[in-house]
Amino acid sequence: MLVSTGCTPSQVRAWAVWHGNDPDAAVEFAQRPEVIADLASGEHESVAPVPGGAGAADCYADEFAAAGLPVATFVRIARRESGCDPWVWVVDRDDDGGALLGFNFKGSMAGYWRDLCGATKATIRGNIPMIMRCAAAEYEAHGLAAWR
């Protein structure tokens, strides 16, 4: 059977990894009306594949450790938010963000991330060093509040 998803192979792999780690969240996301409409339109934004495959084999555990972040916690967050794909981006009524850990750039949050760690929507996507720097700065400032 041939199934057409409207997704790149990298996006399909990222969702499959996410589904393997958190099937309820992955299915809930895939069943959202805006996601279904986006896939049906075929006009969603494609992203470049992640070097080393969808989400890197260890979901950036080494990078989280080097940034001084609690590794198991941030690997879980990355799997939930993006399937370990730093290129993932979501735009909907209350979110304009992603980049591995679900950084939100909606409204005043764009200025917040710029001031906190120099990130913009144009510079953070797929930028692992910046993602780690921003995550470490946010974690230092507010603990896990941004990811609850």
pLDDT in tens, 46-66: 333 344 344 467 899 999 999
**Measured between alpha carbons, how far is 43 from 56 in angstroms, rounded to an integer?**
27
Q: How many helices (H) and strands (E) does the chain have?
A: 8, 3
What value does the mean pLDDT take over residues 87-100?
91
Which of 3-12, 83-92, 109-118, 130-139 comes out lowest in average pLDDT? 3-12
Residue 48: its pLDDT value, please?
A: 38
On whether residue 130 sits in a domain, the answer given is yes
Assigned domain for 45 exists: yes
Type and span of the H or E element at 89: strand 89-92
Classify residue 4: in a domain, yes or no. Answer: no
- Which tops the pLDDT comparison, 1 or 12? 12
Tell me whether residue 107 is in a domain: yes
Confidence of residue 148 (pLDDT cuts 50, 70, 90): confident
DSSP state of 47: -
Residue 25 in domain: yes
Residue 95, in any domain of the structure: yes
Average pLDDT on 62-90 reads: 94
Strands of the sheet with 103-104, listed across from one edge: 89-92, 95-98, 103-104
Structural domain for 95, as ranges:
9-147
- pLDDT of the residue at 94: 87
pLDDT of 9 over the 90 cut: no
Gyration radius of the chain over CA positions? 15
> Band of the pLDDT at 2, cuts 50, 70, 90?
very low
Say how many domains are in the chain. 1
Residue 44 lies in a domain: yes
Residue keyed to tokens 């950084």: 103
The answer to whether position 2 is within a domain reads: no
Structure confidence at residue 81 (pLDDT):
92
Structure tokens at 21: 């780690």
% of the chain residues with pLDDT over 70: 64
